[in-house]
Structure 1
Amino acid sequence: MDILEYADKVWRQESDAMAYHNGDLREHGLHAITDGVHMWPAFGNVYVFETDDGLLMFDAGSADTARALFDATRKLSAEPLRHAVYSHGHVDHIWGTKGFDQEADANGWNRPTVVAHSAVKDRFDRYISTNGYNTVINQRQFQAPDLRWPKTYRYPDTTYDTRMTLSQGGLVAELSHGYGETDDATVAWFPQKKVVCVGDFFIWSSPNAGNPQKVQRYALKWAEKLREIAGLGAGFLLPGHGLPIVGKDRIVEAMTTSAEYLEHLHASTMELLNSGATLDTALHSVDVPEKFLDKPYLRPSYDEPEFVVRNAWRLYGGWYDGDPSNLKPARRSVLGESIATLAGGADALAATARRELNDGDERVAAKLIQLATDAEPDNLDVHAIRAEIFGELRKRATSTMSKGVYAWAVAESTAKIQGRDTLDLIRENSEGKFRLM
């Protein structure tokens, strides 16, 4: 399959991206993008550049494809890998240097020099201190019970703060920092090739600026970086996830439209924040025009606009949501018992939740069934309705974030009913493994 022809069809919405997501493209090894530039299409894409002094790599991919990446690269060239640039420190972008490090050690060569923004080191330090938390939230997000968060990392050898020019074998890469999904992000502009590698600033989905289980994201600064990328004059845009975009006009459209999307969410949230509105008002007032949702690269398949609103609020307004009862909230079990008593018991509350799901407000259904479960955590009939409700919400959800949380709730209640461990149940029904290292 010619990856650029395929990318063109996806752009024109004449084909979906399933061949990319299913890993079919990796069967063909590295794909040529332009002269001396090759793509390894994976969960986290990798780009390999041939130079007069060995190879240069932008991003290093995830652990589960690291060996295959090494083998595919060696089919292309026997030249040593001189530099590897991390677009950021997320674990699906940092493991592919392992085989090249081992090769260098075995042959007595210098290991590849890993280059990254200075904040990548801080990220790795934070990952080590929050190892348990990251294991739990990523098990939930990806429904991956065997996932264990890494405790060791390949730290960068060379770091920069704002901008850096990297030269190797006649090839020049202009590295620049930006805030977006992370605070440690790098964009690489290769002016001689008219190629820009953008990492997770573009992922063929609505920008991941709101993830409810992860640290702060930066919608407005993200938009600013997208506009900067649009002004480079690139002919090839190589994303951290998804297919390349070819052609200056398409690149400008994708970058500016994505920027407008983020600016709209940010500005709408700020207007409400400045008016004294509550977070509840913001979440239920900010809408997204169809002109954004119609784009194949802005659909809420991973993150959701509502979550971006929450993150913008958190950045400027802190964690207080404007509801005084949430300043010092009641314990969930106590509140659940109180509401269940008013409703005539946890079973009655659960029945009301089911009616809301079918004939009313699905958000009310979710809240009521959780209150019923909090009131009587050992009531298996209530857990059965909880599994039913969150199972239906999972089907209706569009984003990976929502589907993961809802599916986890279903597994919790199902495991409770069956007297089993939640992770064992998920493991039994898992569609695949998500490896980190």
Structure 2
Amino acid sequence: MSKNSTPPTAAANRAVREYLPFDDDADFAQAERGLIGTEDHLTVTDGGGGPVWDLDQWAFLTGDAPDTVNPSLWRQARLNAIHGLFRVTEGVYQVRGYDLSVMSVIEGDTGYLVVDPLISAETAAAAMALVRKHLGDRPVVAVIHTHSHVDHYGGVRGVVDKADVDAGRVRIVAPHGFFEHAISENVMAGTAMSRRSSYMYGNLLPKDPTGAVGGGLGKGTSAGSIGLLTPTDVIRETGETLTIDGVEIVFQDTPGAEAPAEFCFYLPRYKALCMAEIATHTLHNCYTLRGAEVRNALLWSKYLGQAVELFCDEAEVVFASHHWPTWGNAEVREYLITQRDLYRYIHDETLRLANHGYTSEEIAELVRLPDSLAKQFANRGYYGTLSHNVKAQYQLYLGWFDGNPANLEPLPPVETATRRVAYMGGADAVFERARADFERGEYRWVAQVVNDVVFADPDNAAARELQADTLEQLGYQAESGPWRNFYLSAAQELRHGVRQLPTPVTASADTIRGMSLEMYLDYLAIRLNGPAAANEMLRFDATFTDLDTTYALVVANGVLNYTEGGHTAGAGDPAADATLTLTRAALDDVTLGVATFDEQVEKGEITIDGDGAAFTRFLGLLDTFEFWFDIVTP
């Protein structure tokens, strides 16, 4: 049961209202500009009638912010709830509010070019139906994926058929590295990322003023089927152009900032600039709380500066794959320049203070944006935050170690917590002080100290309840949607335990089948239980008849290595214990749960020659990953 805001939380949120220019409602006018049509009740279901997307659940987002929500985040949540089909400019349209991301549609001479088709096939199909209802039933001639995050490619099968791609009737355009990064991010650490994403996007929270109000970048994530199609056109450098269905597209290559593979593009015909996710109406993540590679804010800033130089002499509108456009040449230039300087300031101040000897945590407390940046709503931390972006830049250059050898090898969390609580005089002594600090609104400290009690004694109901109350108040104050969702999801799990809901599947069929064989074998190596395999010596050959290739697999020293070409017995290379003959499709069916390994052997899809027991032993060494692992308790 959620609780009300405390007086310190209400005061903190009032301070935000007093600082920011809430009388400026220009964003609301921009977000509603060009509306062509929408649905009265926007709900999307899958083939079995299960819920995929329901915008009606956000209907409570009206009026002024309650004390349980940071007023700046409430404002952003209301903006993100504006939905429908919008005209950006002649020939360029957007469907907003149908998923976390925005789907843009460009009119060509004969058909549509679809940009970033959302997360799920179901929401993308619903968005495309709205387009055809109002703009006409024209074929999709191209899909443009601006980058390698799932909310920009997952719904591709909702707008095009793979057969049309294979036949050359539809082009799939993506940046170099897109396919590899799209797969690796969703498979190699996919379980951990997805579990943390359930916190980040508030998937487990009620949608109300004491629960989730949105993700800052959008309302939330859809829960439909995820697809991935191989690009037909790969963009490799800035200045490269394509003409598709009569529309000239000029690309800017921007890898290593918001995504490892990404581009922006300009449409000279329409004087429209698409900034993908390099410029949005929020401070973005230089490190995402779900977990990912740290992003370089300096590089990010330079890409924004380059976009100003390349396109802002002409551009009359800038749009992106989240949020609403900005119109007017002068306004476009100002918007991109302030975003440029935002990321540059974060990068440079972090390094300046690091070179004075400050640590990551200290720098996060010291860095504050100048008012010229901080009072721009597009620069507020609705998604990323100043605090964790500063820490990301420190990590990028200096890593996790702060230089103090006391922090070089601390005890693990449970042992640290147990000893620290004992040093402080036991749990009762901690509670007495922590409850007093809670009443004073010192929530950050209470969260730190009571976390020790929870980890020292996870069955301590009083500790769990006080920690939940504390994290709840921090959530009510948070301006960042992900921070709010993390705090409130943790509070919910402390009170009610882990709720095992249907598991999101980012390693979808398209993703698994799209993996190169080398990527698949690397993933297999991640699943090998090193301690259990430490004393094993196993050798196998795997011959893939459809690929006309053989790989030698060796388990030794607790790791799995592989090389192309089988074992060459008699040439100084021991013979394989067993040889598998199979197709890649048969292997994929096992991975996806379509069939078990034994079933594939029984059907003759996989054959084993040699020591079959050795291979069975190998399969027993592979871990499966439980999605609903504990986060806020040991």
Residue of 288, 306, 319 corresponding to 1:228:
306
Q: Is the 8 A contact 1:70 1:96 kept in 2?
A: no
Provide, for residues 143-173 of structure 1, a one-character-per-residue CA deviation record: whole Å limited to 9, x for no partner.
2249889786333232122233110232100
How far apart are the structure 1 equivalents of 2:127 and 2:114?
A: 11
SS in 1 for 2:107: strand
Q: Does 1:193 align with 2:270?
A: yes
| Matches for 1:229-248 after TM superposition, within 5 Å | 229-231=307-309, 232-233=311-312, 234-248=315-329
Q: Does 1:353 align with 2:412?
A: no
Q: Is the 8 A contact 2:164 2:170 kept in 1?
A: no
Q: Normalized per residue, which structure has more helix?
A: 1
How far apart are the structure 2 equivalents of 1:362 and 1:77?
A: 54
Q: Is the 8 A contact 1:53 1:168 kept in 2?
A: no
**Worse-superposed segment, 322-331 or 308-317:** 322-331
* Aligned counterpart, 2:372: 291
SS in 2 for 1:382: helix
Cα distance, 1:17 vs. partner?
5.4
Structure 1 portions without partners, runs of 5+: 416-420
How far apart are the structure 2 equivalents of 1:115 and 1:188?
A: 12
Q: 1:151 to 1:51 in 2, by over 3 A?
A: closer
* Aligned counterpart, 1:100: 159
Q: 1:95 to 1:408 in 2, by over 3 A?
A: same
* Aligned counterpart, 1:418: none
* Aligned counterpart, 2:29: 6
Q: Is the 8 A contact 1:279 1:322 kept in 2?
A: no
**How many matched pairs?**
416
| Matches for 1:273-352 after TM superposition, within 5 Å | 273-352=354-433
* Aligned counterpart, 1:21: 80
SS in 2 for 1:258: helix
* Aligned counterpart, 2:233: 158
Cα distance, 1:380 vs. partner?
0.8
Cα distance, 1:434 vs. partner?
9.3
Q: 1:161 to 1:370 in 2, by over 3 A?
A: same
How far apart are the structure 2 equivalents of 1:302 and 1:281?
A: 22
* Aligned counterpart, 2:113: 56
Q: 1:363 to 1:324 in 2, by over 3 A?
A: farther
* Aligned counterpart, 2:531: none
Cα distance, 1:224 vs. partner?
1.0
**Counterpart AA for 2:229:** R
**Worse-superposed segment, 259-268 or 151-160:** 151-160
* Aligned counterpart, 2:248: 172
Q: 1:5 to 1:391 in 2, by over 3 A?
A: closer
* Aligned counterpart, 2:288: 211
Q: Is the 8 A contact 1:139 1:147 kept in 2?
A: no
Provide, for residues 354-384 of structure 1, a one-character-per-residue CA deviation record: whole Å limited to 9, x for no partner.
3223326432211101011111111111111
Cα distance, 1:391 vs. partner?
1.0
Q: 1:118 to 1:106 in 2, by over 3 A?
A: closer
How far apart are the structure 2 equivalents of 1:242 and 1:19?
A: 11
TM-score for the superposition, normalised by structure 1: 0.87
How far apart are the structure 1 equivalents of 2:191 and 2:223?
A: 8
Q: 1:20 to 1:62 in 2, by over 3 A?
A: farther
How far apart are the structure 1 equivalents of 2:336 and 2:464?
A: 45
How far apart are the structure 2 equivalents of 1:152 and 1:52?
A: 27
Q: Is the 8 A contact 1:39 1:45 kept in 2?
A: yes
Cα distance, 1:273 vs. partner?
2.0
Q: Is the 8 A contact 2:154 2:226 kept in 1?
A: no
Q: Is the 8 A contact 1:132 1:149 kept in 2?
A: no
Q: 1:252 to 1:435 in 2, by over 3 A?
A: farther
Q: Is the 8 A contact 1:135 1:147 kept in 2?
A: no
How far apart are the structure 2 equivalents of 1:187 and 1:16?
A: 28
Cα distance, 1:16 vs. partner?
5.1
Q: Does 1:35 align with 2:35?
A: no
**Worse-superposed segment, 47-56 or 371-380:** 47-56
How far apart are the structure 2 equivalents of 1:196 and 1:8?
A: 17
How far apart are the structure 2 equivalents of 1:139 and 1:147?
A: 12
Q: 1:218 to 1:107 in 2, by over 3 A?
A: closer
Cα distance, 1:131 vs. partner?
2.2
**Counterpart AA for 2:126:** A
Q: Does 1:79 align with 2:134?
A: no
RMSD: 3.0
Q: 1:325 to 1:282 in 2, by over 3 A?
A: same
Larger radius of gyration: 2
**Counterpart AA for 1:38:** Y
Q: 1:4 to 1:408 in 2, by over 3 A?
A: closer
How far apart are the structure 1 equivalents of 2:165 and 2:479?
A: 49
Question: Percent identity of the aligned residues?
Answer: 21
Q: Is the 8 A contact 1:128 1:151 kept in 2?
A: no
How far apart are the structure 1 equivalents of 2:424 and 2:437?
A: 14
How far apart are the structure 2 equivalents of 1:371 and 1:203?
A: 38
SS in 2 for 1:297: helix
**Worse-superposed segment, 354-363 or 158-167:** 354-363
**Worse-superposed segment, 146-155 or 192-201:** 146-155
**Worse-superposed segment, 173-182 or 381-390:** 173-182
Q: 1:434 to 1:260 in 2, by over 3 A?
A: farther
Provide, for residues 83-122 of structure 1, a one-character-per-residue CA deviation record: whole Å limited to 9, x for no partner.
11111121111134313323x7489964521111122112
Q: 1:151 to 1:330 in 2, by over 3 A?
A: farther
Structure 2 portions without partners, runs of 5+: 1-25, 34-71, 205-220, 509-634
